[in-house]
Amino acid sequence: MKIALAQLNYHIGNFETNTRKMIECLHASKEKGADLVVFAELAICGYPPRDFLESAAFIDLCRQAAGEVATHCQDIACIIGLPIPNEEAGGKDLFNAAWFIENGQVSAVVRKALLPTYDVFDEYRYFEPARSFGCIEFMGKKIALTICEDLWNINDNPLYVSNPMDELILEQPDLMINIAASPFSYTHDDERIKVLSGNAAKYKLPLFYVNQVGAQTEIIFDGGSLVFDESGALKAEMKYFTEDVQIFELDEIQNVRNKYPAQERAGDIEQIHDALLLGISDYFRKSGFSKAVLGLSGGIDSAVVCALACRALGPENVMAVLMPSKYSTDHSLKDALDLVGAIGCKHEVVPIKEAADAFDSMMKPVFKDMPFNLTEENIQARCRGIVLMAMSNKFGYILLNTSNKSECAVGYGTLYGDMCGALAVIGDVYKTQVFELARHINKEREIIPVNTIVKPPSAELRPDQKDSDSLPDYGILDQVLYQHIELKKSAADIVAQGFDAEVVNKTLRLVNLAEFKRYQTPPILRVSPKAFGMGRRMPIVGKYMS
């Protein structure tokens, strides 16, 4: 049996494009001798469709699209993921399911049993879990087909009380196939391989795993589809962050490495870089946009976002707006212009001094003789936001937000100013990681000026301002934030590791107080195990840690 794993980039609700891709893949795989093509979880509609699933018309379009794919399954079979109605009166209205199609007909239906409801997942909101299981017979082999999370209940602290494979193994299958929509984080590839390898070894069966690729707003799928032999040894690893279709001979599983050499997986920063490029490009392409605008300050955050946007969209489609204030230094303006020169994007210089002075004059009768403080700093940041949104409205640019995760965490940003935008590119990247990203971007030639990387970070909203005036050193701050956000450690836990108690308590208090700001930020491209947004849901008015 020749099995084609089809790792494709789907578009939520774009049935025409999704169906066309699958049909083209079927025909191409058939010409190459494949017997079975395996598509990803909910491939027909894209993942995650969220409340689209509450529309009966949407579910009907899923069925129609899958039926169209089925008509092309002549002398070749396929596995296709889609939502299907629950015909029983009790329970949720839908199943997260897979159709096994051969000779133009659905010969078997498999329903997902383990429905994740954590982090970015919310499947039990829509789907009823499967309670019965059976293998699929094809070409004289028994296939144990499961859907994503159904294979993830294999660790020392299982999340679910049952395991679909424990039922399926009783029918003595010959192989396992798992279709998935497994989101990217820079720690997830190793975990994914460990879990899937553990399944192959536990059940002593070869395992074929297909993941989807591409970005759906903030969630990024990295692909990396996998094949394991019955001992759990990794035999093939498909491409990351790009579409890929490969055909494997079941009976030659031990020799598959000879045909598909092992890939050297990238390090964390390179993975984050590639994920952000995919996130930007898919957000624009799938939304029908082409041109981006951002504020370019001469600082590290906006420089990295500008460089990423130029790589993802082409420099001719990126407008960098330099908006010096009366507190901006000459070297900041020069650093921004040097970046523009190195990268070749468009740019405009729009000083904000007159606008900020006008607001100061307008508000003077109200503020009277009150001293300069954060209010005037925020007015400058909001002047920049007005300029950028004006550019967006006038020229059709989509505004990219340049706030990093450290700033988002502690609320070091101005609502309706530097926090505005349609997409937050590095909102899940800590400041220390932003510096690493800049060095990675510069690995072949200097794109981001060295001075931008080495100078102390500053918002330049008052004389001689430095981030360190308000925040701990980023090297310390980011470690405390990682322990609290990603690892969910309490203040006491973090202090016990040797961190200063005052720094820890102040930092966690700032994180809690900034929740109201994060509710109003753009979608953040998710690259870590715990990103702000739909994967971290906290009350705004909660008292805890305030």
- Assess whether 377 carries a catalytic annotation: no
Q: Is the pLDDT confidence value at 331 over 90?
A: no
Q: Which of 444, 462, 480 is the last residue of a domain?
A: 462
CA distance 546 to 538: 13
Q: Is 517 annotated among the ligand-binding residues?
A: yes
Looking at the structure, do residues 103 and 249 belong to the same domain, yes or no? yes
Looking at the structure, do residues 241 and 298 belong to the same domain, yes or no? no
pLDDT classification of 394: cutoffs 50, 70, 90: very high
Catalytic residue among 2, 21, 25, 41: 41
Q: Is 344 annotated among the ligand-binding residues?
A: no
Give the CATH number for residue 290: 3.40.50.620
Q: For residue 488, is it within any domain?
A: no
Q: Is the pLDDT confidence value at 503 over 50?
A: yes
Range of the domain at 149: 2-254
Q: Which of 414, 430, 462 is the last residue of a domain?
A: 462
Specify the pLDDT at position 255.
Answer: 63
Looking at the structure, do residues 246 and 384 belong to the same domain, yes or no? no
Residue from 417, 408, 400 nearest 283 by CA:
400
Give the CATH number for residue 210: 3.60.110.10
**Which residues in 150-161 are b (16+ Cβ under 10 Å) and which e?**
bbbbbeeeeeee
CA distance 533 to 451: 33
Looking at the structure, do residues 66 and 213 belong to the same domain, yes or no? yes
Q: Is the pLDDT confidence value at 357 over 80?
A: yes
Looking at the structure, do residues 175 and 44 belong to the same domain, yes or no? yes
Q: For residue 476, is it within any domain?
A: no
Catalytic residue among 21, 112, 405, 431: 112
Q: For residue 496, is it within any domain?
A: no
Looking at the structure, do residues 245 and 342 belong to the same domain, yes or no? no
Specify the pLDDT at position 460.
Answer: 66
Specify the pLDDT at position 258.
Answer: 46
Residue from 424, 130, 405 nearest 276 by CA:
424
Q: Which of 223, 254, 285 is the last residue of a domain?
A: 254
The total number of structural domains in the chain stands at 2
Query: What does the DSSP 8-state code read for residue 84?
Result: E
Reduced to 3 states (helix: H, G, I; strand: E, B; else coil), residue 248 is strand
**If you search the block for the tokens 């016990």, which residue do you land on?**
496
Catalytic residue among 148, 306, 345, 383: 148
Q: For residue 508, is it within any domain?
A: no
Amino acid at 313: L
Looking at the structure, do residues 294 and 430 belong to the same domain, yes or no? yes
Looking at the structure, do residues 276 and 392 belong to the same domain, yes or no? yes
Amino acid at 34: A
Looking at the structure, do residues 241 and 309 belong to the same domain, yes or no? no
Q: Is 299 annotated among the ligand-binding residues?
A: yes
Chain segment 438-472, per-residue pLDDT in tens = 999 999 999 999 999 998 877 666 677 677 777 88
Q: Is 295 annotated among the ligand-binding residues?
A: yes
Looking at the structure, do residues 208 and 59 belong to the same domain, yes or no? yes
- Side-chain half-sphere CA neighbours of 148 within 13 A: 25
Amino acid at 372: F
CA distance 473 to 467: 9
Between the CA atoms of 523, 526, 531 and 537, what dihedral angle is there, to the nearest 10 degrees? 50
Looking at the structure, do residues 244 and 277 belong to the same domain, yes or no? no
Q: Is 308 annotated among the ligand-binding residues?
A: no
Q: For residue 398, is it within any domain?
A: yes
Query: What does the DSSP 8-state code read for residue 486?
Result: T
Q: Is 143 annotated among the ligand-binding residues?
A: no
Q: Is 432 annotated among the ligand-binding residues?
A: no
Chain segment 161-209, per-residue pLDDT in tens = 889 999 999 999 999 999 999 999 999 999 999 999 999 999 999 999 9
- Assess whether 112 carries a catalytic annotation: yes
Q: Are 467 and 456 contacting, i.e. CB atoms less than 8 angstroms apart?
A: yes
CA distance 414 to 385: 10
Chain segment 426-438, per-residue pLDDT in tens = 999 999 999 999 9
Check residues 274 and 261 and name the one with the higher pLDDT: 274
Angle of helix 374-395 relative to helix 353-367, nearest 10 degrees, comes to: 130
Query: What does the DSSP 8-state code read for residue 254?
Result: G
Chain segment 98-122, per-residue pLDDT in tens = 999 999 999 999 999 999 999 999 9
Query: What does the DSSP 8-state code read for residue 429?
Result: S
**pLDDT, averaged across the chain:** 94
Neighbour count for residue 349 (Cβ, 10 Å): 13
The β-bridge partners of 234 are 228
Q: For residue 478, is it within any domain?
A: no
